[in-house]
Amino acid sequence: MKLVQHISVLLIALLIGCQLFAQSSSKENNSESNDEESFTPTPTIGIGGGFLTFYGDYSKGIKSNNAVTSRLAFDLHVEQKINSFLSVRFNYMRGKVSANERDFNTNRNFESTINAGGISVLYNFDHLLGENRVVEPYIGAGIAYLDFDSKTDLIDEYGNTYHYWSDGTIRNLSEGDPNADELSVRLARDYEYETDLRKLYEEELGDYEQFTVAFPVSVGVNMILAPKWNFKMGATYYFTLSDYIDGYTPDNSPEGSADGQNDNMLYVGASLGYNFSRNKKEELPVDDTPFLFAANEDEDGDGINDFIDQCPFTPVGVQVDDFGCPLDGDDDEVGNFKDDELNSAPGAIVDSVGVTYSDERLLEMYLAYMDTTGAYSKIEKESYTIDIVGGRTKRNRDSRKTVYAVKIASFQDAIPSEMVTNMLNYKDVQTLEQDNQIVLAVGKFPSIAAATEQREALSAAGVSSESIIAIDPDGNIRNVDSRPSFVSEEGVTHFDESNMADQEVVYRVQLGAFKKKANEKAFKGFDNVMAVSSADGYTRYYSAPYNSYSQAAAIKINAVQSGFPEAYVVAIKGGTKVDIRSVKQGGTSGISNLPEGVSLSDEQKQYLRFKVQLGSYKKQVPTDVMESYLEFSDLQRVVGADGVTRYVVGDFSSYQEANQYKQELRSEGFGGCFVVGEFQGEIVPAKKAIELSK
């Protein structure tokens, strides 16, 4: 509150001073030029909002200006023109910044409330632009006072401390705890930043000040909406003199990972401004000429004076009634002089020449006007219809096609958890919205026949469905075939557990779980993202399914590096989430379960691959080593039953190809690499893989 009071007093004082300066400048101009039209500049007050993004020691190398990390902010400003090209702006901005960083080495986060107030000088390029411009660019620079209140999220709402495991989960016990496997419980971050950073690092950083001086640099465009209104869009970058905003400096960072540079911020927003100038009263010239009304004037020459003529500009020679309107014998609002049907029925719909439309023609016009899906007529790139006044109106028709899907069920609030896990086994499952309900559907087919085949296949697998739906190019949904299939008495979709148990294990990556629905543009780098709103109030986003853990693990690494630090791999079998370690250790198709001397079948050999192992680690990988590993686009991270994490690259069908690749890597500095075999997510010695490939 003290900061707000100080800024308010500062703004008022500076505004009064600038106003007095502008008035004195105006008087000097009047005395020198004796120009009665000169005026005193008046202030413009504006309010706006936008997004505030943090740039500091967090998330290095990751794009931070996105929907996940930017936070809302607002600003209030008063702007006073000094002359035609310069103005002074007094500004107050309030908002929040945050950052979350999570990778193989670090797990940290922070949030800070920012208050900033200051003064800037703006230049509007008046020397280069025309006088009657509507849009003008501007640049500016100034100085500001900025304070911050930074906190971090270390515990959940029940007081449990977060422990980050290498498999991407958060637990209540550390991964190295002897009782971790039996007693650990998975946690979810509550994103409540409860721990004060200054108190947390008081021993390393001391009682540092939570305010600093900043130098804002602005660029934007000003649009003049009206004489007193303007709309501005722009960006302001705050160069601060503090490295304590995120609470992370070289004094408290491991191995010197902090760069020691000052923390900065970017505010991008828009504002609406109002100018408090008063309009001058204009003196109207006195005209002593008496007003004379031309009582006998008839401009269209139809014999009816303009004073009572209700249809001015009637064509010459047309017979009119007492009010100057053309005669209309059948009262169809089409004058007799251009009516091709003088005896139209009362109330009939006629065209621009008075001819009655037939019922067939009206139906044809209606269908052609309303049809956008091709249900009544073939869709072409362009079509034309005749409107009521006889003109021709061009309409662009959408040439994109409607797709069809099988609607499994719909829900008012959230999808039941057992339904979510069951449907995650299907590779083409999707969630849609229809009539404010969440729709669970399968497939995107070009025809109803293809969707019907999928519906029958689902029914054979024990999955009921409500209908076949059509999805138009704009995302609108309509039912095509609403006959239910295998619906239980409670109206809930039924699953045959025996059929579901025979399904193969599939892997998905949970990209994140949010209390509010995220902007789906943030997931544009991932294919077939599925959004599931559950009864716990969270909306979870899953990637497309994969047949092997290694494929899903690569997607997870990409997700973490793309700004989704909470991403982790889930395994689903028979409609149930299963523990990934049990799947990788005890699968019936694993090599470890095959007796010695037994060869694989031809079908099994298709899944036997040769790779090059770069290294294996029981604990955390050193930072410099991981940086060299991340240069490989096909890097796979495989956790074995022995708890050792192995990093492998390459994918070859023969030992010879893998061995040649190994030699290339050794020549590039990876001296300890060697060839290994991989079968459905399990790493085995190369010798055993060679024997099984015979």
Q: Give the bridge partners for 90, in sequence order.
A: 78, 119
H or E element, residue 78: strand 71-81
Contact criterion met (CB below 8 Å) for 506 and 545: yes
Verify that 198 and 185 share a domain, yes or no: no
* Coil/strand/helix, residue 460: helix
Q: What is the pLDDT of residue 93?
A: 95
Number of domains observed in the structure of the chain: 5
Question: For the segment 651-678, what is each residue's pLDDT rounded down to a tens digit?
Answer: 898 899 999 999 999 888 888 889 998 8
Domain boundary among 578, 609, 629: 578
CA distance 581 to 573: 13
318 within domain boundaries: no
pLDDT value at position 420?
63
Structure tokens given for 429: 């499952």
93 with 179, same domain: the answer is: no
Same domain, 373 and 511: no
What is the model's pLDDT at position 32? Answer: 43
pTM of this prediction?
Answer: 0.41
Same domain, yes or no, for 411 and 516?
yes
Exposed/middle/buried for 572, CB within 10 Å: 0-12, 13-18, 19+? buried
**Beta strands 86-102 and 107-123, pairing class:** antiparallel
The two structure tokens encoding residue 596: 């010695």
* Alpha helix positions (H), 287-393: 359-370
Q: Answer yes or no: is 298 within a domain.
A: no
In a domain, 158, yes or no: no
Per-residue pLDDT of 129-179, as tens digits, reads: 888 888 999 999 999 999 999 999 999 888 889 998 888 889 988 888 888
- Could you tell me which residues come within 8 angstroms of residue 582 by beta carbon, excluding any fewer than 6 positions away? none
> Which token pair is 235?
């960006």
Mean pLDDT in consecutive groups of 10 residues from the start of the chain, 694 residues: 51 52 48 45 91 82 55 93 91 91 79 95 89 90 95 90 87 86 87 91 89 96 90 94 89 75 92 80 52 62 78 83 84 82 82 77 64 51 40 40 84 66 69 79 84 83 82 82 51 40 70 76 77 71 80 80 78 64 45 54 80 82 77 81 80 90 89 84 82 80
The token pair that represents 310 in the structure block: 């209700």
What pLDDT is stored for residue 327 in this prediction? 87
Q: How far apart are CA 466 and CA 455, in angstroms?
A: 10
Q: Is residue 316 part of a domain?
A: no
* Residue 494 tokens, joined: 């039924």
Same domain, 85 and 180: no
Beta-sheet pairing, 229-240 with 264-275: antiparallel
CA 581 – CA 589 distance, rounded (Å): 15
Q: Give the residue from 224, 248, 275 where a domain finishes.
A: 275
**Whose CA is closest to 244, among 275, 207, 219?**
207
Cα gap 173→408, rounded to integer Å = 39
Over pLDDT 90: what percentage of the chain?
Answer: 19
Count CB atoms within 10 A of the CB of residue 460: 10
What whole-number distance in Å separates Cα of residue 587 and Cα of residue 597?
19
Q: What sign has the CA pseudo-torsion 526, 465, 452, 500?
A: positive
Report CA dihedral (151, 154, 155, 157) to the nearest 10 degrees.
Answer: 40
657 and 565 share a domain?
no
Residues 185 and 195 in one domain: no
**What's the 3-state SS for 27-81?**
HHHHHHHCCCCCCCCCCEEEEEEEEEEEECCCCCCCCCCCCCCCEEEEEEEEEEE
3-state SS, residue 428:
coil
- SS (HEC) of 638-653: EECCCCCEEEEEEEEC
> Of 351, 374, 396, which residue constitutes the final position of a domain?
396
249 and 180 both lie in a single domain: no
- Cα dihedral sign for 638, 642, 644, 648? negative
CA 232 from centre of chain: 23
CA distance 421 to 417: 6
CA-closest candidate to residue 136, choices 260, 234, 282: 234
Show the domain range for 130: 42-153+191-275
What is the C-alpha to C-alpha distance for residues 64 and 60, in angstroms, rounded to an integer? 9
The string of pLDDT tens digits covering residues 372-397 is 555 555 554 444 443 333 333 333 43
Q: Are residues 149 and 233 in the same domain?
A: yes
- Kindly tell me the sign of the dihedral angle through the C-alpha atoms of 164, 170, 174, 179: negative
> 367 in a domain, yes or no?
yes
Instruction: Decide: helix, strand or coil at residue 580.
Output: helix
- How far is the C-alpha of 408 from the C-alpha of 412, rounded, in Å? 14
Query: What distances in angstroms separate CA 434 from CA 203, 326, 476, 493, one per listed residue?
Result: 56, 53, 8, 18
**Residue 109 forms part of a structural domain:** yes
Residue 270 is part of a domain; what is its CATH number?
2.40.160.20
342 occurs within a structural domain: no
Give SS3 for 156. coil
Q: Does one domain contain both 243 and 384?
A: no
Q: Do 182 and 220 belong together in one domain?
A: no
The answer for 322, left when phi > 0, alpha when psi is -120 to 50, beta otherwise, is alpha
Q: What CATH number did the domain enclosing 679 receive?
A: 3.30.70.1070
Whether 479 is in a domain gets the answer: yes
Check whether residue 389 and residue 526 sit in a common domain: no
Tokens describing residue 376: 């009544």
